């Protein structure tokens, strides 16, 4: 398989998907999403019995690779609101491949894990983070309802609101584990070894047994509306992308540049 944004590694019964755009902090591009679809499809019938996803370089992923031009974002260009909703649904459908995959999936998170990257990590069966990792929202409030179902499901409503009401809110790995977003937090120097050990332990169970156990847990969350709730986030996010406040923010990015436009939200934590 010819991959430009990912690397696929096999270590015994464990397959590692490596997000491989380190110069862009592994920002999730359209090409990366296409390659994730292809790799996850391939791994349904090949590779190890456990899948781990991690990031190359300094971060797991800084989130979506956004094009800030008015022609692409903010409701002022080529896409209509339904097209925008469909685009956002497409992102979620790609990440749901981790949730629906017949094999257990593990997110191995270090460095930044922001915005869309938290969706990817949240839809893995296990999320293991470095103590020093930074997990959270995008720096500018250019949407809404897209991440909130994930925060609410894993952290509860009070902490979900704490995450989403503060621009650029980030928590470290220790807090993410304490709040229930992650399974556990370990020092970054131990992260790969710890995740590898857990993945190999899981791989000792027969794949058919693992598949049914995974399904039995997922079914409980889906009966509570988890899938419908996260997919509905594409609609609220699309609506906000066409709202006047978000259009104004996107114009700020165009005229001032991303760094200067973000400066009004500096100091959030």
Q: Which residue, 173, 168, 169, 151, is CA-closest to 160?
A: 151
Give me the CATH code for the 6-265 domain, please.
Answer: 3.90.226.10
Entry pTM: 0.92
Q: What is the pLDDT of residues 206-219, one digit of tens each?
A: 999 999 999 999 99
% of the chain beyond a pLDDT of 90: 80
27/64 Cα distance (integer angstroms): 5
b/e map of 166-188 (b: 16 or more CB within 10 Å)? ebbbbbbbbbbbebebbbebbeb
Count other C-beta atoms under 10 Å from residue 65's C-beta.
Answer: 19
CA 117 to chain centre: 3
Which residue spans within 35-147 are E strands per DSSP?
50-55, 105-109, 112-114, 126-130, 134-136
Domain locations in the chain? Answer: 6-265
SS3 label, residue 176: helix
- Mean pLDDT of the 183-188 span: 98
Sign of CA dihedral 37, 39, 40, 41: positive
174/180 Cα distance (integer angstroms): 10
Structure tokens at 265: 């939200």
- Taking 90 as the threshold, does the pLDDT of residue 245 lie above it? no
128/181 Cα distance (integer angstroms): 9
Count other C-beta atoms under 10 Å from residue 243's C-beta.
Answer: 15
241/253 Cα distance (integer angstroms): 14
Mind giving me the DSSP string for 186-212? E-HHHHHHHHHHHHHHHTTS-HHHHHH
Q: What is the pLDDT of residues 189-242, one digit of tens each?
A: 999 999 999 999 999 999 999 999 999 999 999 999 999 999 999 999 999 999
SS3 label, residue 3: coil
88/217 Cα distance (integer angstroms): 26
The owner of tokens 């983070």 is: 129
Confidence of residue 254 (pLDDT cuts 50, 70, 90): confident
């Amino acid at each position: 398989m010819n991959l430009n944004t990912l690397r696929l590694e096999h270590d015994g019964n464990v397959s590692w998907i490596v997000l491989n755009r380190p110069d862009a902090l592994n920002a999730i591009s359209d090409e990366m999403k296409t390659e994730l679809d292809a790799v996850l499809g391939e791994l349904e019938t090949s590779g190890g019995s456990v899948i781990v996803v991690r990031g190359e370089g300094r971060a797991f992923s800084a989130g979506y690779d956004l094009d800030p031009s008015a022609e692409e974002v903010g409701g002022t260009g080529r896409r209509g609101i339904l097209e925008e909703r469909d685009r956002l649904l497409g992102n979620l459908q790609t990440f749901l491949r981790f949730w629906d995959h017949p094999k257990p999936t593990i997110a191995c998170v270090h460095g930044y894990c922001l915005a869309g990257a938290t969706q990817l990590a949240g839809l893995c069966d296990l999320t293991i983070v470095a103590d020093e990792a930074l997990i959270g929202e995008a720096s500018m409030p250019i949407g809404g309802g897209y991440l909130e179902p994930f925060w609410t499901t894993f952290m509860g409503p009070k902490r979900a609101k704490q995450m989403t009401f503060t621009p650029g809110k980030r928590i470290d790995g220790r807090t993410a584990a304490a709040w229930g977003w992650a399974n556990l937090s370990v020092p970054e120097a131990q992260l790969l070894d710890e995740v590898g050990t857990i993945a190999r332990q899981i791989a000792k169970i027969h794949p058919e047994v693992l598949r049914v156990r995974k399904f039995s847990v997922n079914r409980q969350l889906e009966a509570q509306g988890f899938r419908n709730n996260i997919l509905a986030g594409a609609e609220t996010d699309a609506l906000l992308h066409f709202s006047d406040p978000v259009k104004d923010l996107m114009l700020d990015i165009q005229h001032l540049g991303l760094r200067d436009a973000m400066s009004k939200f500096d100091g959030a934590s």
